[in-house]
Amino acid sequence: MPTAEPETTTASGCVQIVSAVPDEENQEVLYLGMFDRRSVATTWDGDEVYLEPGDLVFCDPGRRHSLRFGDDCRMTVFRIPRCYLGVSESYLDRVAGATVRGSRGLGALVSDLLSALAAEAEFRTSVIGDRLARSAMDLVAVLVMELLETETTAEASSVSKAGNEMLLRIRTYIEGHLMEPDLSPEAIARAHHISVRYLHKLFQNDGTTVSQWVRQRRLDACRHELSRTPNRRITVAAVAHRWGFSSPAHFSRTFRDAYGMSPSEWQTLAASGVGSPVTDARVAG
């Protein structure tokens, strides 16, 4: 990817225009390429990225596989000492291979300044050119932070989607194991190869807790079964035991807290056909 410009340096040495990105990695500098003409780059996954004149790319000789350029690609390469940017090393490493449109937003400002610096030879050894280069550096630092913010937002969205999918699988698992009295957070986490802490976080983000969710689903199952046995051929204690409640007394208290009446009262009311209790759960944490 040769450029039309020879290797030159601005007055303060804060920006250099070089012939190409070198093969060797240099931890002390950042390479920023600006495309001179329309080009096509290929990602490691085989996707094509179409680039217009003025678009920018953060180059990293140590990660040349991040983007592959054709033989007809032409760009002007700027070498900027990392220490001038005031951005941590880890942040700069994370933008390697990133492309930025030079036609809009902050990318347009950076592209315009670098274009002026590359086009006017006298700028590179003048006070005006030095100030132009420093302004470009400040904008590059801001551009890096903007890219990182966008990356963080995308990662958060991806994490949120994965968390929702995991929560759905866990709820489905709980529905199929409600009758097991040892259905504990530890058992649920172990079945899904996640930590108990992460399990609690998933339910917390959904506004509840694991124990509350399990308890409410068991109560709903018991309430439904009791409403189907108005002739009391099955006892309240038997229903409670079937759905994972080890203590009939604890079940009765929990049922009353949730529905405002005892299991027996609900069974009697269901048999009479007069009405139904409040169905909104009021289970304590």
Secondary structure of 140-201 in HEC code, one letter for each residue = HHHHHHHHHHHHHHHHHHHHHHHHHHHHHHHHHHHHHCCCCCCCCHHHHHHHCCCCHHHHHH
Compute CA 57 distance to the chain's CA centroid, rounded to the nearest angstrom.
23
Please state the length of the chain: 285
Number of domains in the chain: 2
Amino acid at 38: R
**147 vs 18 pLDDT, higher one:** 147
Question: Is residue 3 situated within a structural domain?
Answer: no
Q: How much is the mean pLDDT over the chain?
A: 77
Q: Does 12 lie in the same domain as 150?
A: yes
Percentage of the chain modeled with pLDDT above 70: 73
Question: Is residue 220 situated within a structural domain?
Answer: yes
Which pLDDT does position 177 carry in this prediction? 92
- By CB atoms closer than 10 A (0-12, 13-18, 19+), residue 222 is buried
Q: Does 141 lie in the same domain as 46?
A: yes
Q: Does 52 lie in the same domain as 101?
A: yes
d(CA 267, CA 222): 10
pLDDT band at 93; cut points 50, 70, 90:
confident
Please give the structure tokens belonging to residue 26. 């240099």
Half-sphere exposure for 151 (CA within 13 Å, toward CB): 15
Half-sphere exposure for 143 (CA within 13 Å, toward CB): 26
* Separate counts of helices (H) and strands (E) for the chain: 9, 9
Q: Does 29 lie in the same domain as 86?
A: yes
Q: Does 187 lie in the same domain as 150?
A: no
Amino acid at 203: F
Lowest mean pLDDT: which of 41-45, 109-113, 142-146? 41-45
Which pLDDT does position 24 carry in this prediction? 56
Say what the pTM is: 0.46
d(CA 123, CA 125): 6
Q: Does 197 lie in the same domain as 105?
A: no
* Per-residue pLDDT reduced to its tens digit, 128-139: 777 777 788 788
Domain end, chosen from 86, 120, 154, is at 154
d(CA 72, CA 135): 31
d(CA 76, CA 97): 16
Question: Is residue 163 situated within a structural domain?
Answer: no
d(CA 79, CA 31): 5
pLDDT band at 4; cut points 50, 70, 90:
very low
* Per-residue pLDDT reduced to its tens digit, 175-190: 899 999 889 999 999 9
Q: Does 183 lie in the same domain as 93?
A: no
Which pLDDT does position 44 carry in this prediction? 63
Q: Is 233 helix (H, G, I), strand (E, B) or coil?
A: coil
Which pLDDT does position 15 carry in this prediction? 56
Question: Is residue 232 situated within a structural domain?
Answer: yes
How much is the average pLDDT of 94-112? Answer: 86
- Domain containing residue 228: CATH number: 1.10.10.60
Domain end, chosen from 123, 154, 185, is at 154
Could you tell me which of 67, 62, 73 has the C-alpha nearest to residue 46?
A: 67
What domain range is 199 assigned to?
Answer: 177-285
Q: Above 90 in pLDDT, residue 214?
A: yes
Question: Is residue 169 situated within a structural domain?
Answer: no
Question: Is residue 35 situated within a structural domain?
Answer: yes
Q: Does 201 lie in the same domain as 77?
A: no
Question: Is residue 224 situated within a structural domain?
Answer: yes
* Per-residue pLDDT reduced to its tens digit, 220-258: 999 888 887 555 567 889 999 999 998 899 999 999 998
Which pLDDT does position 186 carry in this prediction? 93
Question: Is residue 1 situated within a structural domain?
Answer: no
